[in-house]
Structure 1
Amino acid sequence: MKRHEALYPLSHHHHYTLAMAQELKKADDKSSIQKMTRDVIDFWEKDGEDHFRDEEEVLLPLYGQYESVEQPEIREMLIQHVQIRSYVYQIRGTKRPDRQLFRELGTLLQEHVRLEERVIFPMIEKAVPENYLFQANGRFHRDSYSGY
């Protein structure tokens, strides 16, 4: 899907999120709980937390200047943010999380990225003038995978 270049940093991070989601969804008896736990915590601390902050504190307030944020799609996005945070906190706070928890998180991450890429970002690209999208880009964190 063609994305406005100002949103590339967020979309780029989504690519890595989908890769992690695929791995988490495949969690079985052979999967190392320690490795999955470490991967989720690293993902969250290096990029996930900042990525959500970028969307919640930069992108959505910008969008809200041009369109109402009181839309079911925006509400669903924010609810998913809370749910994902809850999974991460539960994984981080449990000595031996159940593999089902990782599978559920993987499924939710995949659904979340698809919602943002297929619905939310197109809404934002349509509503927000291009020059303001570029200004927002300057406020996004750079992901740890590529520095993008």
Structure 2
Amino acid sequence: MKRHEALIPLSHHHHHTLVVAQQLKKADENTSIQQLTRDVIEFWKTDGENHFRDEEEILLPLYSQYADVDEQEIKNMLLQHIQIRGYVMKIRSTERPTIETFNQLGQLLDEHVRLEERVIFPRIEKAIPEKYLYQANGRFHRDSYSGF
């Protein structure tokens, strides 16, 4: 999918997230719970949390200046942010999270990225003037996985 150049860093973050989501969705009884826990915490600490901040503190407020953000898809996106944060908190605070918890988080991450890439980002690209998209880009964090 062709993405506006200014949103490419966020799309790279999404690619990294899909890699993590696949790992979590495929986890089974032969997978190390300790390693999954470390991987989720590391992903969240280095990229996931900052990515959500990029969207919530930079991109969506900018979008709200040019479009109505009282859309069900935006509400779904933010609800998923809350749910994903909840899973990460649960994984951090549980002595031995279940494989099902990791599988569910993986499924949610997958659905979330696809919502943003297929629905939200195309709307943002259409609504926000190009010069302001580029200005927003300069404020996004750099993904540890892709370097974008």
Q: TM-score category by the smaller chain? A: over 0.9
How far apart, CA to CA, are the structure 2 residues paired with 1:122 and 1:147?
Answer: 23
Partner AA of 2:58 in structure 1: V
Partner AA of 1:134 in structure 2: Y
Cα displacement string for residues 108-137 of structure 1 (whole angstroms, at most 9, x for unaligned residues): 000000000000000000000000000000
Q: Tell me how large the CA RMSD over aligned residues is.
A: 0.5
* Structure 1 unaligned blocks of 5 or more: none
How far apart, CA to CA, are the structure 2 residues paired with 1:51 and 1:113?
Answer: 12
Name the structure 1 match of 2:104. 104
Name the structure 2 match of 1:25. 25
* Structure 2 unaligned blocks of 5 or more: none
| Cα offset, 1:68, TM superposition | 1.0
Q: Does the CA contact (< 8 Å) of 2:13 and 2:146 recur in 1?
A: no
- Secondary structure of the corresponding residue to residue 2 of structure 2: coil
Residues 53-132 of structure 1: matches in 2 within 5 Å? 53-132=53-132
Partner AA of 2:123 in structure 1: M
| Cα offset, 1:147, TM superposition | 2.0
How far apart, CA to CA, are the structure 2 residues paired with 1:83 and 1:123?
Answer: 23
- Secondary structure of the corresponding residue to residue 69 of structure 1: coil
| Cα offset, 1:59, TM superposition | 0.2
TM-score by length of 1: 0.99
How far apart, CA to CA, are the structure 2 residues paired with 1:16 and 1:141?
Answer: 14
Q: Does the CA contact (< 8 Å) of 2:33 and 2:99 recur in 1?
A: yes
| Cα offset, 1:146, TM superposition | 2.8
Report sequence identity in percent. 71
How far apart, CA to CA, are the structure 1 residues paired with 2:62 and 2:146?
Answer: 25
Correspondence 1:143 to 2:140: no
- Secondary structure of the corresponding residue to residue 9 of structure 1: helix
User: Deviation above 3 Å: which 4+ runs of structure 1?
Assistant: none
